[in-house]
Amino acid sequence: MVASLAPGVLLIHGLGTNHKSMMKIAKLLEEQNFIVDNTDLPGHNTSPEDLKDTEWTEWTEHTQRRLESLKTKSSEVFILGASLGSVISLYLGANNSNIAGLILCSTALKPFNFKSWFVYNFSIIQHFIRYISLNKIISKYLGIPKDWKRYEKIPVSSLIQATKLLKELKKRIKKINQPILIIQAKNDRIINRRGRKQVYNAIKSEDKTFVEIQRGGHIIMSDENYDQAFDIITKWLLEREPSESDSR
């Protein structure tokens, strides 16, 4: 471990949004002297049409490259993911045992409402329904996030790609043994309590923490009580920073 380098944090946003949705937590971490890589996933921050033609392997390969780059600049690397970003974080954790820790916001290993279950099991739907409007489901399923940078519509094909990633992750989940922080909102209507417990129980890490945020919904980084989530994240990270004696 190199004493002169600071710890790094790779930020991975959710489906249909972009790095701008993670800028508040990125700024906070930088103020705490972390080296932050706040990246855009392939198919994001351009157009829904670009996302429509993007496969899940492009997301994982892109973040793996960013992870490798951040390792060269940091004493150790943590990954913080939101929603789809947390699934990618788990995938990277399973494939990179030297990651210092994972922070997962709003994640599950399988769908827990009928619509997402249907997409998960019947990918043929993408040939009949091309896009889902986010405007129609925000208040009902996603909470009331502020300054949430996103597409107006999500390709159904991208939801299919996310389910393929979930199915691949299930094969690897037992390989994860890094420290884990799981944060979920009590009012998350995308992922229920059973989904949260499933993630916690599936991970074999000895150092794992689950925290439930009382207000807000699925979009923790931008929703009500995001400041509570940020406090939890920074405290957890600072507790795991290497001491000077560790780095000698």
Query: Is domain 8-247 annotated with CATH 3.40.50.1820?
Result: yes
Q: Is 184 left (phi over 0), alpha (psi -120 to 50) or beta?
A: beta
pLDDT for residue 114: 42
C-alpha angle 166-168-169 in degrees, rounded to nearest 5: 65
What tokens does 152 get?
């107006």
Per-residue pLDDT 10s for the chain (248 aa) are 445 799 999 999 999 999 999 999 999 999 999 999 999 999 999 999 999 999 999 999 999 999 999 999 999 999 999 989 999 999 999 999 999 999 999 887 765 444 554 455 545 555 556 777 776 666 555 555 666 777 788 888 898 899 889 889 989 999 999 999 999 888 777 776 666 678 888 888 999 999 988 877 777 777 777 888 999 999 999 998 765 435 44
Beta bridge partners of 208: 180
Compute, in degrees rounded to 10, the torsion defined by CA atoms 237, 242, 243, 245. 170
Which residues, in sequence order, are CB contacts of 54 under 8 Å at separation 6+?
42, 43, 158, 161
Which token pair is 142? 């996603």
Q: DSSP states of 150-188 as a string? A: B-SEEEHHHHHHHHHHHHHHHHHGGG--S-EEEEEETT-
- Please tell me the predicted confidence (pLDDT) of residue 118: 45
pTM: 0.87
